[in-house]
Amino acid sequence: MIIVSLLLLLTVGTGTAYVAFLNHIVTTNVKHAALLPATSPGESAPARQPAAKDAQNILLIGSDSRGGVANGRSDVIVLIHISSDRQKVYLVHFPRDMYVDVPGHGKDKINAAFAYGGAPLLVRTMQNLVDVRLDHVFVIGFDGFKAMTDAVGGVNVYAEEASGGPGYNAVHVGWNHFDGKQALEFVRERMQLSEGDISRGRRQQAFIKALLLESLSMPTVTNPVRLAQLVDAATRNLIVDNAFTMASLRAEALGLRNLRSKDIKFITAPITGFGTSPQGASIDVVDDAAMAKLSFAFKNDDMSGIWIGKQIP
């Protein structure tokens, strides 16, 4: 969500005291940490392919750990692919129950990597899975999503399935307006959904798109108070890797300044179905053939051969 914040800065121009104030909020709030893994003996990160040019692969980790964003649970795992020409952004959701190789821990659910070794181990796990080097990492706590939603006055989100009941947020099929608390209930729910974690991933994608569009809407960017609250909320619970300097963040945002809703595409990482691990846990089985195609698309900055599927309204 740091990209959202920096896009917002670009919408209000440069050289003003207000922009300087917003820049101060971002610089003060955003924390840097060693989120990218150090090279282990006998192990190396995948090499960047010339065909990828300047495309970027950024891992967004949403942590639902109530005690903070460090380690805990990674309930949102999204690999963001930004095309080299900065005309398209693909958000690939990796269901947290995908059963994968976790370096040093054998086969396990993909979100276990974050619990075992934080962002660096999850990055190593992801790089092994997709055979693509990850350029940067963002970690944001769920409190950050909640605060951003409230800062923009709530969001309109499309729900593909109904859920809720006594004591819970009632969600109906179609458009729903959520405040921050309701939005968190919406993206956390999976037990009442037809495909469990897969359906929850679709909800997370719908929420991210709704929040992005509301953040860049005229009522937000033309309201100085709301804009400042949003920038503060978007960055207060955010950690980025040490290599992602403020200068590089701003340059990335500048490249995305013409991005529109139609340019943002959502994909779910491929699985063949559901199964049970040797330990008796419910798992999502990776579709190796389709994953190889996704890997090729990342490496060559060419998503034309990937089945995008039904997009979020």
Structure token digits, residue 216? 């860049």
Query: What local confidence, expressed as pLDDT, does residue 67 receive?
Result: 46
Q: Are 134 and 127 in contact (CB under 8 A)?
A: yes
Residue 106 falls within a domain, yes or no? yes
Distance CA 209, CA 136 (A): 21
Q: Are 84 and 301 in contact (CB under 8 A)?
A: yes
Residue 305 falls within a domain, yes or no? no
pLDDT mean for each 10 residues of the chain (313 residues)? 57 66 84 87 81 93 63 78 92 93 95 92 96 92 87 93 78 94 89 86 87 83 86 86 83 77 86 92 94 95 81 66
Burial of 263 (0-12, 13-18, 19+ CB in 10 A): middle
3-class secondary structure, 142: helix
Residue 284 falls within a domain, yes or no? yes
Query: What local confidence, expressed as pLDDT, does residue 65 receive?
Result: 60
Query: What local confidence, expressed as pLDDT, does residue 310 receive?
Result: 64
For residue 196, which amino acid is it?
G
Residue 311 falls within a domain, yes or no? no
Residue 308 falls within a domain, yes or no? no
Distance CA 256, CA 6 (A): 10
Distance CA 83, CA 132 (A): 14
Residue 236 falls within a domain, yes or no? yes
Domain total for the chain?
1
Burial of 185 (0-12, 13-18, 19+ CB in 10 A): middle
Query: What local confidence, expressed as pLDDT, does residue 62 receive?
Result: 85
Q: What is the CATH number of the domain that holds 236?
A: 3.40.630.190
Residue 307 falls within a domain, yes or no? no
The residues near 84 (Cβ < 8 Å, ≥ 6 apart) are 52, 53, 54, 55, 301
Residue 167 falls within a domain, yes or no? yes
Helices 180-188 + 142-151 axis angle, to 10: 140
**Structural domain boundaries enclosing 280:** 2-300
